[in-house]
Amino acid sequence: MSIESILSQIDAEIARLTQVRKLLASSGSSSLTTKATKTKAAPAKAHKRILSADARKRIADAQKRRWAAQKARTKKD
């Protein structure tokens, strides 16, 4: 495809979109947008994750191991 043909296709698409925009603007699209904004639902609340006691202990133990490893590396240097 040549550049001229690509540019002519782009110009045709722009002209088509401009016509569609004019039609939508003249048909009272503002009423459509106000309906859409009025019907928006409130955002859902995030559910708090609940961990079991065993899971909390495993996470705490793993973190303590990471801290100990970091502490050992700083002592080594």
How many residues can be counted in the chain?
77
pLDDT in tens, 29-65: 555 555 555 666 777 888 888 999 999 999 999 999 9
Distance, in Å, from the CA atom of 24 to the CA atom of 27, rounded to the nearest integer, reads 5
pTM beyond 0.75, yes or no = no
